[in-house]
Structure 1
Amino acid sequence: MTLEIQNKLHESSQLISEGTEKTTAMMEEIASTAKILSSHIGYLKEKGNRVIEETHKTGEILNFVSAVGRNSNLLGLNASIEAARAGEHGKGFAVVAQEIRKMADESTLAVENIKNTLNTIRQETDEIISAIDKALILGEQQLRASDEVAHDMEELTHSAYEVEKIADQL
């Protein structure tokens, strides 16, 4: 009977040992990939922040273009006034003045459209960065959990070896 118990203990401890070693190896692999994933997610967050910075720079350029549009509109208005004063001789200049004002209005409209598009890009990028932050937190939790499981598996493997030693002593 003791030999049978000893054999069962050996068998069980070997199965436990093999299972825990496999699980430990898998958990170490999961931990490794979690670290890599965390690194990639951090990189994406960094790039998202750069996109936001660049959209702010384009905002400055758009402010300049908007100022040029306003000034062009004023120049076109002044040119229209001067063309009207010139009477019959200013009709050709009045057409040019009208086109300048039209271009100024179109520039102002285009700047507003671009600003709206940039605001949408900023909002979407902010949401992406927020999701990335959440993914980073989950990745860190996964890494800690996998480290904990790997540690527990190592302790279980050690316990299986201890059971095997006891079986040898029977």
Structure 2
Amino acid sequence: MHQILKSLVDSTPFLLGTMKDDVMIGIVDRERFLCYIPSTAIDLGVKAGDPIPPHDVNFQNALKGIPGAGRTPVEAYGVPFYGKTIPVKVGNEVVGAFGIGYNIQDQVLLEESMEKLNSIIDRLTDRVHTIAAHAEEHAATSETMQKNSSLTMERSNQTDKVLSFIKGIAEQTNLLGLNAAIEAARAGQHGATFSVVAKEIRKLSGDSANATVEVGGYLENVKASMREMVYGLEGITQSYHEQSQSVEEMTKMIELLHEISNNMNMYIKRMSQ
């Protein structure tokens, strides 16, 4: 063991006592651990003489003469932690490295929680977009149906004029048949044939009047149903508009969650630096 490395190993307990944070310390030569002192929170289970794991990029960099700093991959020791290492040189030769490890278990748990939160936010966003798209489609369909129903109502109201016209013709025809019957009676036997025609005219007039009343009743029922449909569609359309407003509010809340999540992720990155 090089003398400078031996001096570091001997002074490690004193160095550890001067540090405020709960850290672990490791000292290595070119191939193996010379000393390892665990922290209160983390014990890697490393012993003096154990080889340096190839996945410990911080120590590997330090042995190349490059100070290392960053999260040590879990593959190295099975435990995530943040490490800082510096090369130990004698002249220009790197004879070993000195490293400090920090507990980041809370940070890892926070990152896992943030990943779950982001996943929930993404699913919520997809659901809200789907609901919003369906609400817009239904609102458009309801508005179209409402317009068509209103147009049908207007057209059914126009049939009242037609029925009134037919009713007027029936009354005029009935009056004409009555006059014809009177004239046939005056003509006596010579007006017998004309009397039959007059009866048929009055019968036709009565049938027309009855049909007009019956059709009018049907149309009133249709108009009443159409009015109920229009009112119902107005309520549905209003409901879809309210649903769209709720979706907008949910979208704003999700955007706020996204913002909080991004801020938390930035905070986590700063913690790991």
Bucket of the pairwise TM-score, normalised by the shorter protein: over 0.9
Q: Which amino acid aligns with 1:108?
A: A
| Deviation of the 1:68 alpha carbon | 0.6
One-letter amino acid of the counterpart of residue 44, structure 1: M
The structural deviation recorded for 1:163 is 2.1
Aligned-residue Cα RMSD (Å) equals 1.2
Whole-angstrom distance in 1 between the partners of 2:113 and 2:132: 28
Match of 2:248 in 1: 147
User: Is the CA contact 1:14–1:160 (under 8 Å) kept in the aligned structure 2?
Assistant: no
One-letter amino acid of the counterpart of residue 249, structure 2: E
The reply to whether residue 167 of structure 1 matches residue 268 of structure 2 is yes
Per-residue deviation at 1:56? 1.4
Q: Distance in 2 between matches of 1:45 and 1:112?
A: 29
Q: Distance in 2 between matches of 1:57 and 1:155?
A: 55
Give per-residue Cα distances to partners, 1:53-105, cap 9 Å, x unaligned.
Answer: 11111111111111110010011001111111111121111111111001101
Contact 1:17/1:161 (8 A) holds in 2: no
The 8 Å contact of residues 73 and 100 in structure 1, kept in 2 or not, is answered as yes
Contact 1:34 1:143 in 2 (8 A): yes
Range with bigger deviation, 35-44 or 130-139: 35-44
Moved more, 20-29 or 108-117: 20-29
Deviation at 1:9, TM superposition (A): 0.6
Could you tell me which residue of structure 2 aligns to residue 88 of structure 1? Answer: 189
Q: Paired residue for 2:149? A: 48
CA distance in 2 between counterparts of 1:88 and 1:45 reads 64
User: Number of residues paired by the alignment?
Assistant: 170
Counterpart-to-counterpart distance in 1, 2:176 and 2:110: 97
Structure 2 equivalent of residue 57 of structure 1: 158
Alignment of 1:77 with 2:178, yes or no, is yes
1:50 positional shift: 0.6
Corresponding residue to 1:99 among 196, 200, 205: 200
TM-score normalized by the length of structure 2: 0.60
**Displacement, 1:21?**
1.5
1:38 counterpart residue number: 139
Structure 1: gaps (5+ residues): none
Q: Which amino acid aligns with 2:180?
A: A
Larger radius of gyration: 2
The residue aligned with 2:259 is 158
User: In the aligned structure 1, how far is the partner of 2:149 from the partner of 2:231?
Assistant: 10
1:122-169 Cα shifts (integer Å, max 9, x gaps):
111110010001101110111011111111112112212222222333
Hey, what does 2:73 align to over in structure 1? Answer: none
Corresponding residue for 1:131? 232
TM-score by length of 1: 0.95
Query: How many Å separate the matches in 2 of 1:29 and 1:151?
Result: 16
- Aligned-residue offset at 1:4: 1.4
**Structure 2 regions of 5+ residues with no counterpart?**
1-40, 42-102
Q: Using CA pairs below 8 Å that are at least 6 residues apart, which structure has the higher relative contact order?
A: 1
Q: Percent identity?
A: 26
Structure ranking higher in helix proportion: 1
4+ runs deviating over 4 angstroms:
none
